[in-house]
Amino acid sequence: MKRLASLPSPHCVLCFRIPFRYSNHMLCSRSRCIPFSSARSAIHPLLPPHRYFTTSIPTAMRVIPVPCLSDNYAYVLVDDNGVGLAVDPVEPRKVIPVMEKENVKISGILTTHHHADHAGGNKGFLHQIPNIPVWGGDDRIPGLTEKVVDRAAFTVGELHITPLYTLCHTLGSVSFYVEDKKSGEKAIFTGDTLFVAGCGKFFEGTPEQMHNSLYNVLGQLPAATKVYVGHEYTKSNLKFAVHVDGQNPAVVAKAKWVESNTCTVPSTIGDEKTFNPFLRCDTPSIREAVGLPADASVVEVLGALRKLKDCF
Q: Which residues bind Zn ion (CB under 5 A)?
A: 115, 192
Q: Is 127 a catalytic residue?
A: no
Catalytic pick from 79, 80, 88, 113?
A: 113
DSSP secondary structure, 253-274, as one string: HHHHHHTT-S----EEHHHHHH
Q: Please say if 11 is a catalytic residue.
A: no
Q: Which is nearer to Zn ion, 62 or 118 (CB)?
A: 118
Q: Rounded to whole angstroms, what are the CA distances from 92 to 25, 95, 97, 134? A: 25, 5, 8, 14
Q: Are strands 105-110 and 134-136 parallel, antiparallel or unpaired?
A: parallel
| SS3 assignment, position 118 | helix
Is 25 part of the annotated catalytic residue set? no
The secondary structure element, H or E, covering residue 204 is none
For Zn ion, give the closer residue by CB, 79 or 192.
Answer: 192
Q: Which residues contact 264 (CB under 8 A, 6 or more apart)?
A: 196, 232, 234, 235, 258
Query: Residue 116 Cβ, how far from Zn ion at the closest point, in Å?
Result: 9
- What span, in angstroms and rounded, lies between the C-alpha atoms of 281 and 304? 10
Marked catalytic residue, from 117, 138, 180, 271: 117
Q: Which is nearer to Zn ion, 138 or 192 (CB)?
A: 192
Closer to Zn ion by Cβ: residue 91 or 192: 192
- If the CB atoms of residues 80 and 192 are measured against Zn ion, the closer one turns out to be 192
For residue 100, count other CB atoms closer than 10 A to its CB: 11
117 is catalytic: yes
Alpha helices in 75-146 (DSSP H): 92-101, 116-119, 122-128
Q: Which of 114, 118, 245, 271 is catalytic?
A: 118
Smallest CA-to-CA distance from 122 within 153, 230, 147, 133 is with 133
Catalytic residue among 180, 192, 245, 271: 192
Tally of residues, the chain: 312
Least distance (Å) from Zn ion to the CB of residue 207?
17
Nearest approach, Cβ of residue 114 and Zn ion (Å): 8
Gyration radius of the chain's alpha carbons: 20
Shortest reach from residue 192's CB to Zn ion, in Å = 4
Residue 63 CB-half CA count within 13 A:
26
Handedness of CA 243, 193, 28, 64 (dihedral sign): negative
Q: Which is nearer to Zn ion, 191 or 207 (CB)?
A: 191
**Given the residues 80, 114, 180, 231, the one annotated as active site:** 231
231 is catalytic: yes
Is 44 among the catalytic positions? Answer: no
CA dihedral 112, 78, 121, 210 (to 10 degrees): 10
Least separation in angstroms between residue 60's CB and Zn ion is 29
Minimum CB separation of residue 262 from Zn ion in Å reads 22
Report, as residue numbers or ranges, the catalytic residues: 113, 115, 117-118, 169, 192, 231
